[in-house]
Chain A
Amino acid sequence: MMTIPKSPSRVRTLAAAAAVSIAALALTGCGGPETRSTGSTGTAVAAGSGEGTINVWAVDGQAAENDALKKIISNFESSQSKIKVNLKLFPSDQYTKAVNSAAPGGLPDVLDFDGPTLASFVYNGKMAPLKGSVSDATLSNQTDSIKSQNTVDDAVYGVGMMNAGLALWGNKKLLDAAGVAYPTTPERAWTADEFTGVLDKLTTVVPGGKPLDLSEQYGFAGEWGTCCSAGPVIWSGGGTMLKDNKASGALDSDANVKSLTQLASWKKYTDPNADGLAFTSGRVALSWVGHWTYPTYKALGSDLVSIPLPNFGKGTKTASGTFAWGMGATTKNGAAAGKFLDFLMSDDSVRTYTDANGAPPATKTALAASTLYGPGKQLQLLGDQLSKACGTENQINDACVSVTRPVTAGYPVVTDQVGKAEAAIYAGKDAKEALAAAARAIDQNFADNDGYKK
């Protein structure tokens, strides 16, 4: 998922990691100097007979998601008799580690991955390009926004059933009470200055005098900050995080300083939302968060409206991308794996899966037929935003909306530093200083790793 509120188990794991941090640090890294397998093992994919059993690895998601996946698999097995699927679920905080530590031969035929981890998997020679295994019809039915996430160095490594998107969720009753007219299409998004005026008006109609929720409870100093809070602000202001694989001159640009300073200026209108109930309890009129809150937010009924995020100069922008499916680099059963992926991307499968978790479908036909994100439906705005894909941040123009996070194996450093800088700026630190420090840290790490080039 694009962002998930930190689960207690992850927190506990990290707390435990702290207790034995010295030990853990050394033990985890102990494979370092001696046993680094050389990356790019090339594509050792064999098409195989197109029958037999294929191994599938996936993240242990919400119960509804797991049930949907199992249902799709049983549908697949009953639709034909030659291919059997052996599914293995991993806890979400162990998943990336499991893939990273698998030996080339230990990788499954088909595996789930989170968008930003793909570049790193490819960099480590864990993934196989899908062309030739998956049908052209399946590949061309992928929406541009998910295709951009799943493309590394011009080769497609993944196909997605679902996507993710952001919006300002509005409480119509409060907006009407303040006499605020709101935009419903990306083209007419509020400019950042207009948005400040809107917040001023809304201050009088909410009980605590703070009409905005920026999802502070997720914490800016992490993935939420980079993908979903600072990211859209940076992209909408005409900036980028990286340019030609360098952060200096991109992340610390004047445009980014201006946009993020403006975001921080809204802190005085913002409810900290420590209890996560700010929007549903009517404490705020606007909530800046992703599609995944819809199941809780729909309690507002017809008062729930979706509004594009503010425009900082280059049109409204949202992040997109989430878990998708790819093939292990050394699968000996590429043809069967491709058939399974084709089946996963069929309208029926996509509908089963996205109905279970409420995510916007990532295939063109399923998105058009969606009862939630389709034309004229309640979340049409999010569907529209996803079909106006920019691709990665260097391809942004004024008209496109959905931006893919930087596709680089160095993403962990980028997300950590951007999130950290946003949190510091939001807490009152000078934006230029915070962004320049983040840019230097990113560039140092990229330089240490030869720019994460293969």
Chain B
Amino acid sequence: MTTQTQTQQIQATTVPARRRSAAGLSGHRFAGPLFASPALLGLAIFLVAPFVLALVLSFYRVQLNSPRPARFVGFEQYSRLFTDPDLAAAFGNALLNNFTFALIVVPVQTVLALALAVLVNRKLRGMVIFRTFIFMPLVFPLALTAVIWRLIYSRGDQGLLNAILGLFSGGSFTSHDWLGDPSTALGSIIVMSIWQSVSFQMIIVLAALQSVPTELYEAASLDRANKWAQFLNVTVPGIRNTLIFVALITTIFSFRLFDQVYLLSRSGSVDRASTETVMTQIINTGFDNNNVGQAAAMTVIFMLIITVIAIIQRAAARQRGGV
């Protein structure tokens, strides 16, 4: 009798419990996809769908603002991109400009961001003012700063850079056309670009620096490690993941390089080929020449290149125990 009531009691308690857990389980089954759905929807609308559309468009001859129906041309847009002497040269040149930009900007900007962060991380009076000054370029819109940089790079003695160089060299420096000369055009854009965005990376590194525990520095100084040794053995390992992250996003920013080139060289009388990047070329092809099919093919190839680079970078970072 007692065992019976006991079992009944157990049943009475377990049944609702089982019910609850069943309800919970079914909830769990939908909770994951449910919570992920806004992000997945966003990815689908803004990333997957456009890419699929670009892929489709790249097989067509499509002209914007044209009453002609799109014509299926198979791989023609791709074969033109690689075999047409004009197009292949232009696309290759744009890719080369992108790679040159990335090869210089990624290391220089990451190291510079680290150096600046270490510099403004000291507890000196008035440091806030320094931080503000270094952060300022990022606060101004690029369209605004580009106007100033055009004046800086302007050829002739009116150009600010030429004027300063002339002053310091005692007049022996003759004025140079920084943006107009193909040999210095990309370099000028690199300098402006680093000036504009290094402070963003600096802020990220600075936040990481401040999260390195002070005990580690104290321990290191007890071991009589000098400042340089502390920097190499405490600071750098402490912010390693952040540095990898900074290098990653700088790489991505370098490949989508557009604004600086557009603003600095399109408005001047500059040979466009000397600073053309894949992004400016895609916009130019798709929206100035209205040749959407060709632009879509460029986009697809560019996307593949970026994907490969991202995979290599991730693998390299992971191998060394990073993020």
| A residues neighboring B (CB under 8 Å) | 6, 8, 11-12, 14-15, 17-23, 25-30, 32-33, 36-40, 96, 100, 120, 123-125, 208, 210, 214, 216-222, 271-272, 274-275, 283, 409, 412-413, 416-417, 420, 423-424, 426-429, 437, 440-441, 444-445, 448-450
Contact = CB atoms under 8 A, between A and B. Distances in A.
A-B interface, 5 closest residue pairs, ranked by CB to CB distance from nearest = A39-B67, A26-B53, A26-B50, A18-B258, A427-B271
A437 B159 CA distance: 32
The CB with the most chain A CB atoms within 10 A, among B66, B86, B273, B303, is that of B66
A412 B286 CA distance: 11
Given A36-B70, A40-B67, A28 B292 contact: yes
B66 A124 contact: yes
A100 B65 contact: yes
A12 B270 contact: no
A272 B182 contact: no
26 contacts: A11-B262, A14-B262, A15-B143, A15-B259, A21-B279, A22-B299, A25-B50, A25-B54, A27-B50, A28-B64, A28-B286, A28-B292, A29-B62, A32-B57, A36-B66, A208-B157, A214-B269, A216-B269, A218-B267, A272-B158, A272-B159, A413-B290, A427-B269, A427-B271, A441-B289, A445-B291
A14 B261 CA distance: 12
B218 interface: no
Given A208-B156, A424-B272, 11 more contacts: A8-B143, A8-B144, A26-B50, A32-B60, A32-B62, A39-B66, A272-B155, A274-B268, A409-B66, A413-B289, A441-B289
B82 interface: no
A25 B270 contact: no
Interface residues of B, number: 67
A19 B154 CA distance: 27
Interface string B46-74: 11011111101100111111111110000
A219 B156 contact: no
Contacts of B86: 437, 440-441
Given A15-B259, A274-B150, A33 B70 contact: yes
Contact of B274 (A18, A219, A427): A427
A177 to B, nearest CB: 20
Contacts of B284: 416
A445 B294 CA distance: 10
Given A15-B143, A22-B51, A272-B155, A450 B279 contact: no
A20 B86 CA distance: 27
B65 A124 contact: yes
B65 A120 contact: yes
A212 to B, nearest CB: 12
A409 B65 CA distance: 9
Nearest to B155: A272
B269 A25 contact: no
B105 interface: no
A215 to B, nearest CB: 9
Contacts of B143: 8, 11-12, 15
Given A427-B180, A441-B86, A25 B299 contact: yes
Contacts of B272: 221, 420, 423-424
B263 interface: yes
A222 B52 CA distance: 32
B258 A21 contact: yes
A218 B268 CA distance: 7
B283 A32 contact: no
A8 B68 CA distance: 34
B256 interface: yes
Contacts of A272: 154-156, 158-159, 268-269
B54 to A, nearest CB: 5
B279 A32 contact: no
Interface string B157-186: 111000000000000000000001110000
A26 B67 contact: no
Interface string B282-317: 111011111110011001000100000000000000
Contacts of B274: 427
A208 B175 CA distance: 12
Contacts of A440: 86
B142 interface: yes
| Residue from A20, A427, A449 having most chain B Cβ neighbours under 10 A | A427
Contacts of B290: 412-413
B18 interface: no
A33 B54 CA distance: 11
A429 B182 CA distance: 10
Contacts of A25: 50, 54, 282, 286, 292, 295-296, 299
Nearest to B71: A448
B84 to A, nearest CB: 8
Nearest to A440: B86
A156 B52 CA distance: 43
B46 A23 contact: yes
A214 B155 CA distance: 14
Contacts of A416: 284, 288-289
Contact of A26 (B49, B151, B262): B49
Contacts of B258: 15, 18-19, 21
A120 B289 CA distance: 13
A219 B268 contact: yes
B266 interface: yes
B31 to A, nearest CB: 29
A22 B54 contact: yes
A271 B303 contact: no
Given A12-B143, A28-B292, A272-B156, A423 B269 contact: yes
B191 to A, nearest CB: 17
B274 to A, nearest CB: 7
Nearest to B54: A26
